[in-house]
Amino acid sequence: MATILSISSQVVYGAVGNSAAGFAIERLGHEAWAVPTVLLAHHPGYGKYEGGPLDAELIASLVAALDGQGWLKRCDAVISGYMAEPDQADAIADAVERVKAANPAALYLCDPIMGDEPNGLYVGGGIEAAMKQLSRRADILTPNWFEFGLLTGEQPRDNRAALALARTLGPRVVAVTSAPAPEGRIACLAVDGKKGYRTETQAYKPAEGGAVPKGTGDLFSAIFLARLLTGNDVPLALARATASTAALVKSSVEAGRSELALARDQGMIWDPGLLPSMQVF
């Protein structure tokens, strides 16, 4: 069993941010310590919401308190996601430094949440620059295709070009979700040293008027990290995270749900069924 410090958004209703990541981490047999960057009644996609961001100083003090108790030496990884304010990046960086000082073998996964297709950037001013700084500290980086373009400043022409660009970002492992694929499909790319990998699954779309469940990036990143900490290599962790995410989206869409049905279909986190085929570059 590993212990993961998860710093991201948190909602009362729904399955995004820590509310998705923490559940997946624990379903895979690890311990999750959740620190919210923002606490909301629900994600903003539903319209007017209540709640707001946590001060960067409070985030830092929560982690410092864990450090003061000597507990961070038990921490095997940090995962960070959504930031509400640019200065929260400093608190996250401090948390990573504290964890790595207590346990030099600990990993840091940065999910650089900034936006997505088709709506583009959805974070406030200064977040993009702050997220780019955090991404350079990461051991593992998990942008979606839109965020990958922001981080690299390019739109690659094909898979090999995308994998080559991913290696320039700095982290040892980069996994890119929502990569281009044939109509009705969706792909994920990953690099680990000199090798690159690509998986592809069906893209599940809701009935007319429905909404694709949010939180799929949070879920993928958490499963990917948890699988790596279980001992899976990068291609197997990629295949399992991709398959579990696709299975949960399929189940939720077919049930007409606007949220990932994590509690109902939690078995898919552990056993998604058939794994997608893997291309190695």
Q: Give the span between the Cα atoms of 131 and 143, in whole angstroms.
A: 11
For residue 196, give the amino acid letter: G
- The model's pTM: 0.97
Regarding beta strands 31-40 and 3-11, do their DSSP bridges make them parallel or antiparallel, or are they unpaired?
Answer: parallel
- Residue spans of the domains in the chain: they are 3-280
CATH of domain 3-280: 3.40.1190.20
Q: Give the span between the Cα atoms of 42 and 21, in whole angstroms.
A: 15
Tens-place pLDDT, residues 211-265: 789 999 999 999 999 999 999 999 999 999 999 999 999 999 999 999 999 999 9
Tens-place pLDDT, residues 105-142: 999 999 999 999 888 899 988 999 999 999 999 999 99
**How many degrees, rounded to 5, is the angle at CA 4 between CA 264 and CA 199?**
65
